[in-house]
Amino acid sequence: MADTSRNKIWVVVGASFVAVGLLIRLAIAMGGSHASPTPIASRPSLDGGGAVTVSPGGYPAPRSLCERVDFQEFAGVFQLQGARDGYNTGLEPEVVSGSMCEQSMSRGGTGTVEVTVLCSAWQDIAKAIEGFELGRAAPYGPPEAVSGLGDQAYRYRGSNHPTVGMKARVRNLDCKVEAEPKPPMTDAEVDGSFAAMQQLLQTLIPKLTH
């Protein structure tokens, strides 16, 4: 009888251990269900890093550029498609920072063009001039000077790709408009794009310098 009682006790003890183990596993599973999800990569934040500290007399770094451009200057050349999108820039805020905005456009049929505006404030005028001249030496076709636009301005066409663009500088601030078409633009579309770019910059730059 004593052996039988001891066996019953061990059975009860064993069952208790099994029950405790099941409760522990259940608690772990329930806790795991509240774990944070794996982070998902995203576009650069709208802050895009800090803004450059400019020298006295310089213009501040542009921010939230999409609030200042609507690309309507291109309406006579292409059809705006979808919402514009952009973010602030500043990977080297001790040297230069700014903001960019882009807009998709259709050209009829399957043709498209992506137009991007990028405006940046450099630490000082000397740095701005240096950056401007480096841009002029980029692998484009021969740049053409544009008069009546800022302190310096030029337009360009890609030498081995269909990109066209225009860049202007006012003191420590520079702005660039660039269009990337698929397929390449016709001559009429290039001329219309250059006219739209100049008009856009003539409208935008005063907003950033006053």
CATH of the domain at 89: 3.40.1000
Q: Is residue 42 part of a domain?
A: no
CA distances (Å), origin 33, targets 22, 27, 30, 127, 169 = 17, 10, 5, 53, 55
Is 35 a member of any domain? no
Are the C-beta atoms of residues 96 and 125 closer than 8 Å to each other? no
Does residue 171 belong to any structural domain of this protein?
yes
Residue 201 lies in a domain: yes
Is residue 200 a part of any domain in this protein? yes
In a domain, 14, yes or no: no
Domain containing 176 equals: 65-209
Residue owning tokens 């076709």: 141
Q: CB–CB of 173/59 below 8 Å? A: yes
Per-residue pLDDT tens, the chain, 210 aa: give them. Answer: 444 444 443 333 344 433 434 333 433 333 333 333 323 233 444 444 567 777 777 899 999 999 999 999 999 999 999 999 999 998 788 899 999 999 999 998 889 999 999 999 999 999 999 989 888 877 677 899 999 999 999 999 988 889 999 999 999 999 999 999 999 999 999 999 999 999 999 999 999 998
- Residue 67 Cα distances to 99, 126, 197, angstroms: 11, 29, 17
Domains: count for the chain: 1
Q: What is the DSSP letter of 93?
A: T
In a domain, 37, yes or no: no
pTM of the model: 0.74
Please check whether residue 157 lies inside any domain of the structure.
yes
